[in-house]
Chain A
Amino acid sequence: QQQVKQSPQSLIVQKGGISIINCAYENTAFDYFPWYQQFPGKGPALLIAIRPDVSEKKEGRFTISFNKSAKQFSLHIMDSQPGDSATYFCAASTPGGYQKVTFGTGTKLQVIP
């Protein structure tokens, strides 16, 4: 019930294109869905996050789309750039004091010039 499934495992996109990464979850108690970007040898950095009462959130070139009934959410990176090449993790957490984050399996994105 704590699992978060992420796809694809890897993604190659041309510069200027749209990168789309999808995640699905089972636990309906999740109420916070962040996306993290991780470069090799570095810790993850929070990119953007959404709560289930909103269907879409946009910050710059990054957009989260959220479908509560389908228990799915996705990250769209518009106008993808070579500097966006990194591993992206979706995640989900439940409310409460500790708010443990359950991570997806990760998507390695490569943006080619």
Chain B
Amino acid sequence: GAVVSQHPSRVICKSGTSVKIECRSLDFQATTMFWYRQFPKQSLMLMATSNEGSKATYEQGVEKDKFLINHASLTLSTLTVTSAHPEDSSFYICSARRRGGLDEQYFGPGTRLTVT
């Protein structure tokens, strides 16, 4: 159990357009979901944390108007990159913490975003 999916796995978009990435917990309810960004050969950088039904908490330096996070249900969180630019190209990964669980976070497979 504890499977997290992301969609799409890869997306290419033009500069100035918006892209939505979905993160779903398939076999458990997630009280908290996290969004990370990872550059090539680097570690994961936490962008924001969201609880179901409440506003996301963004890390310092992350523009909340550019990276819109919606945690609509206990199994779905979305990240929308608005007015994307080439510097937003990256690997975006979500994770989820199980409702009633301990400290484990389960990660999705990631979404490769390329902005041309």
Interface residues of A (CB under 8 A from B): 32, 34, 36, 41-46, 49, 89, 93, 97-101, 103-106, 108
Which residues in chain B, 27-69, are within 8 Å of chain A measured between CB atoms?
32, 34, 41-44, 46, 49, 51, 57
A34 CA to B106 CA, complexed, in Å: 11
Give chain B's interface residue range (CB within 8 Å of chain A). Answer: 20 to 34
Which are the 9 A-B pairs with shortest beta-carbon distances?
Answer: A43-B107, A32-B103, A43-B110, A103-B43, A43-B109, A44-B107, A43-B93, A103-B44, A98-B49
Q: Determine chain B's interface SS by DSSP, over half rule.
A: strand
A103 CA to B46 CA, complexed, in Å: 9
Interfacial residues, chain B to chain A (CB-CB below 8 A):
4, 6, 32, 34, 41-44, 46, 49, 51, 57, 91, 93, 95, 97, 103-110, 112
Assembly CA distance A71 to B104 (angstroms):
21
**Residue pair B103, A93 in contact (C-beta under 8 Å):** yes
6 A-B pairs, CB-CB below 8 angstroms? A42-B109, A43-B109, A93-B103, A101-B105, A104-B43, A105-B43
